Structure 1
Amino acid sequence: MTAEPELIWDLGAELGEGPVWDAARSCLWFVDIKGRRLHRYTPATGEKASWDAPDQIGFALPAEDGSLMCGVRGGLHRFDPATGGFTLILPVEEDRPQNRLNDGFVAPDGSLWFGSMDDSEEQKTGALYRWFEGELVRHDDGYGVTNGPCLSPDGKTLYHHDTLAKTVLAFDHEAGVLSNRRVFAVTDDGYCDGPTMRADGVLHVGLFNGWGVGLYSPEGERIGKIQTPVQTVTKAAFGGADLQDLYMTTAWLGNADKRAEQPTLGGLYRVRVETPGLVQNLIRLP
Structure 2
Amino acid sequence: MTTEPRLIWEVEAELGEGPVWVQRDAALWFTDIKRQRIYRFHPATGAQESWHAPEQVGFVLPTASGGFIAGLQSGLYSFDPEQRSFDLLTEVEPERPTNRLNDGVVDPSGRLWFGTMDNGEREKTGAFYCYHHGQLYRTNLSGISITNGPCVSPDGSMLYWVDTLGGTISACEIGASGELGPAELIVTIDPKDGYPDGPTIDSEGCIWISLYAGWEARRYSPSGELLARVSFPVANITKIAFGGPDLRTAYATTARQLLTQDQLDAQPLAGGLFEFEVDVPGVACPLIAD
Normalising by structure 1, report the TM-score. 0.98
Once the 2 structures are TM-superposed, how far is the Cα of residue 17 of structure 1 from its aligned partner? 0.2
1:143 aligns with 2:144: yes
Of the three residues 237, 242, 266, the one matched with 1:238 is 242
Of the three residues 214, 217, 226, the one matched with 2:218 is 214
Once the 2 structures are TM-superposed, how far is the Cα of residue 184 of structure 1 from its aligned partner? 1.2
> Given residue 279 of structure 1, which amino acid in structure 2 is its aligned partner?
A
Identical positions, percent: 47
**1:224-262, CA deviations, whole angstroms, 9 ceiling, x for partnerless residues?**
111111111100000001000000000011113311000
Of the three residues 258, 262, 265, the one matched with 2:270 is 265
**What secondary structure, in the 3-state scheme, does the structure 2 residue paired with 1:183 have?**
strand
> Given residue 31 of structure 1, which amino acid in structure 2 is its aligned partner?
T
C-alpha change, 1:181 and 1:10, in structure 2 (3 Å) is same
User: How many aligned residue pairs are there?
Assistant: 285
The aligned counterpart of 1:86 is 86
Larger displacement relative to structure 2 (61-70 or 9-18): 61-70
Q: Take 1:278 and 1:105, find their aligned partners in 2: how far apart are those partners?
A: 12
Q: Take 2:222 and 2:89, find their aligned partners in 1: how far apart are those partners?
A: 36
Q: Could you tell me whether the CA contact under 8 Å between 1:155 and 1:174 is conserved in 2?
A: no
> Given residue 231 of structure 1, which amino acid in structure 2 is its aligned partner?
A
Larger displacement relative to structure 2 (132-141 or 23-32): 132-141
The aligned counterpart of 1:154 is 155
**1:172-224, CA deviations, whole angstroms, 9 ceiling, x for partnerless residues?**
11221111212110112110000000101110001101111111011111121
The aligned counterpart of 1:169 is 170
1:277 aligns with 2:278: no
What runs of 5+ residues in structure 1 fail to find an aligned partner? none
Q: Take 1:3 and 1:184, find their aligned partners in 2: how far apart are those partners?
A: 27
> Given residue 61 of structure 1, which amino acid in structure 2 is its aligned partner?
L
Q: Take 1:64 and 1:81, find their aligned partners in 2: how far apart are those partners?
A: 15
Q: Could you tell me whether the CA contact under 8 Å between 2:108 and 2:155 is conserved in 1?
A: no
Q: Take 1:268 and 1:181, find their aligned partners in 2: how far apart are those partners?
A: 32
The aligned counterpart of 1:205 is 209
**What secondary structure, in the 3-state scheme, does the structure 2 residue paired with 1:259 have?**
helix
**What secondary structure, in the 3-state scheme, does the structure 1 residue paired with 2:51 have?**
strand
Q: Could you tell me whether the CA contact under 8 Å between 2:109 and 2:156 is conserved in 1?
A: no
**What secondary structure, in the 3-state scheme, does the structure 2 residue paired with 1:260 have?**
helix
Once the 2 structures are TM-superposed, how far is the Cα of residue 152 of structure 1 from its aligned partner? 1.6
